[in-house]
Amino acid sequence: MSEKMTAEKLYEMLKKIQEPRGFYFNKDMSITIPLLESLLINKDEYGYMACPCRLPNGDFDKDRDIVCPCEYRDPDLEEFGTCYCGLYVTEEYNQEEHGEVAIPERRPPEKILV
């Protein structure tokens, strides 16, 4: 890649793909931008964009379920209007104001290998 990827560029790139499918970025940019920055940190660290709010095993095949957009995003959006980390939300969720939101973890703990 010739030009360095930034959170802002990633935002624009993914928005085009995800929004038409009904997955919106959280309008609270104090959440969205740091999460996108963290995805880029994880890309550097592990080679793939592991969910910033989960503990990666560091092996793509063993973290497949938490590569963003994670396997748990769609059911979480359906049930809570937001994904676990808060990056993706529904259109309706963005129409309301939200304080601190903490939804339950759906990833089975057995997926964390030690």
Partner 1 sequence: MSIECTLYALSTCIHCRRMKVFLEDHDVAFDNIFVDKLRGDERKEILDKIRNYNPKLSFPTLVVKGGECIIVGFHKDKVEEALNL
Contact footprint for partner 1 (CB under 8 A): 31, 34-35, 38, 41-42, 52-56, 85-86, 99-100, 102-105, 107, 109, 112, 114
What residues pair up with 25 in beta bridges, in sequence order? 88
For residue 67, give the 3-state DSSP assignment.
strand
If the CB atoms of residues 81 and 86 are measured against partner 1, the closer one turns out to be 86
Phi, psi of 82 (to 5 degrees): -145, 155
Burial of 30 (0-12, 13-18, 19+ CB in 10 A): exposed
Provide, rounded to whole angstroms, the least separation between the CB of residue 42 and partner 1: 6
If the CB atoms of residues 18 and 106 are measured against partner 1, the closer one turns out to be 106
Rounded to a whole number of angstroms, the distance between the first and last alpha carbons of the chain is 34
Provide, rounded to whole angstroms, the least separation between the CB of residue 20 and partner 1: 25
Provide, rounded to whole angstroms, the least separation between the CB of residue 103 and partner 1: 8
